[in-house]
Amino acid sequence: MSSTAYQVIARKWRPQTFADVVGQDHVMRTLSNAIKRDRIAHAYLFVGPRGTGKTSTARIFAKALNCTDGPNADFDPEDEACKSIADGTHLDVIEIDGASNNGVDQVRDLRETVQYAPAQGKFKVYIIDEVHMLSAQAFNALLKTLEEPPEHVKFVFATTDPQKVLPTIISRCQRFDLKPIPAPLIIERLKKIGADESVKITDTALASIARMADGGMRDAQSIFDQMISFCGEEIDEPDVLDVYGLVAAEKLNALAGALAAGDHQQIIALVDECDEQGRDLVRLLADVQAVVREALLDAIAQGGKTRRLGDTELSTEQVTRLLDALREGEGGVKLGLAEKINLEVTLLKPVEASRARAIDSLIKEISTLAESAPAGDEKKKP
């Protein structure tokens, strides 16, 4: 048995430098320039969905501040100080879980410790994850320290829910919004990981993993890790679909095409097939919405018409009504008792909605026709 503990892909491939972070170039560039130009603020707030790199960015920022020749945005990740920060053993980089340390007493302890000078590096960096979980009393206890901290102290907050953070806290921080990572960038990173791990994976399988990850790199890496355990060194699209209950992209396009064409029988047949194969019907609805949204964007780009959903040409208004009706049925599919029946109704309703015409657009069209019609003979003047 190997003495080396196995490390999951999400930890093994965690970004170690600003250049390693995928899909957040706007944040990395700003932080790097702030360090190079010596314009380092005392508090930062990283906001974004799960798995987009908030905590990793906070650690990288701490490395840049406390590396041996720091502050330095182009630090060496093999530097001893940087390695200790990555391992969580650096004395001056303190990571706090806001969910379990959310009381006013913990914040008061923090206020006392910030007064002490750094032991190893140039700065004491406090990284508070899920900061929105702090109580109102804890936030208020933190305000004064956050507004006028000692020069050797930097705060880095991370949250998935900025609405729960007090405005008085946000106003004292530089806020950075980390966005969901585009699927092509996730696929590119997974290809690199697969090559390093000697795993063969098809492009369609990678696309399915990226679709499942919903813009989260950590989720994508965790799914990839699980698929390696399931399949071994070769992964194909059917493997991913079976494990996670996804529907193949080809079938999604067929279902969206049936919606556009108003083919009720085809819609029911495809839902029956997906249900018999044990597919996740809630996820199916979300994926169909994504396909229809792409058609809506195409219709806008093409000046009001699209054939993205098959042979049937749809207007922007029709695709909008189609997407809106699908969205309205989400709650029934997720929370209803009869999931399959609710999905069928949710898919059939948009067919009728897309064929309907808005009254204001009809009035506008009639007015346009009336204006362009030839005028009648005018009465002769006496």
Tell me how long the chain is. Answer: 382
Q: 354 with 318: CB under 8 angstroms?
A: yes
Residue 382 has pLDDT above 50, yes or no: no
Reported as a single tens digit per residue, the pLDDT across 323-332 is 888 888 888 8
Sheet containing strand 153-159, strands side by side? 93-97, 124-129, 153-159, 43-47, 174-177
Residue 380 has pLDDT above 50, yes or no: no
Q: What does each C-alpha distance from 31 to 41, 130, 287, 312, 336 come to in angstroms?
A: 10, 21, 35, 48, 46
Structure token pair of residue 202 = 């098809």
pLDDT given for residue 370 in this prediction: 75
Please report which helix (H) or strand (E) contains residue 168, including its range.
Answer: helix 167-170
Domains in the chain, CATH or no CATH each: 9-177 (3.40.50.300), 183-244 (1.10.8.60), 249-351 (1.20.272.10)
128-145: buried (b, 16+ CB within 10 Å) or exposed (e) per residue?
A: bbbbbbbeeebbebbeeb
How far does CA 168 lie from the centroid of its chain?
26
Q: How confident is the model at residue 315 (pLDDT cuts 50, 70, 90)?
A: confident
Segment 24-43 mean pLDDT: 92
Q: How confident is the model at residue 111 (pLDDT cuts 50, 70, 90)?
A: confident
- How would you class 308 by CB atoms within 10 Å of its CB: exposed for 0-12, middle for 13-18, buried for 19 or more? buried
Q: How confident is the model at residue 45 (pLDDT cuts 50, 70, 90)?
A: very high
Segment 272-283 mean pLDDT: 90
Residue 4 has pLDDT above 70, yes or no: no
Segment 249-278 mean pLDDT: 90
pTM summary value:
0.81
Q: What angle is formed at CA 170 by the lines to CA 169 and CA 176, rounded to 5 degrees?
A: 140
pLDDT given for residue 62 in this prediction: 93
pLDDT given for residue 1 in this prediction: 45
pLDDT given for residue 117 in this prediction: 87
pLDDT given for residue 381 in this prediction: 47
Q: How confident is the model at residue 365 (pLDDT cuts 50, 70, 90)?
A: low
Which residues 6+ apart lie within 8 Å of 198 measured at CB?
A: 233
DSSP 190-246: HHHHHHHTT-EE-HHHHHHHHHHHTT-HHHHHHHHHHHHHHH-SEE-HHHHHHHHT-
Segment 27-33 mean pLDDT: 93
Segment 29-50 mean pLDDT: 92
- Considering only CA atoms, which of 168, 153, 169, 211 is closest in space to residue 187? 211
Mean pLDDT of the chain: 86
pLDDT given for residue 204 in this prediction: 92
Hey, is 333 helix, strand or coil? helix
Which residues 6+ apart lie within 8 Å of 229 measured at CB?
A: none
Reported as a single tens digit per residue, the pLDDT across 77-107 is 998 999 999 888 888 898 888 878 767 778 8
Q: What angle is formed at CA 156 by the lines to CA 82 and CA 64, rounded to 5 degrees?
A: 30
Reported as a single tens digit per residue, the pLDDT across 158-196 is 999 999 888 888 988 999 999 999 999 999 999 999 999
Q: What percent of the chain has pLDDT over 70?
A: 93
The distance in angstroms from the start CA to the end CA of the chain is 113
- Considering only CA atoms, which of 21, 6, 60, 1 is closest in space to residue 197? 6
Q: What does each C-alpha distance from 71 to 66, 145, 228 come to in angstroms?
A: 6, 23, 39
Structure token pair of residue 89 = 């053993």
Segment 248-273 mean pLDDT: 90
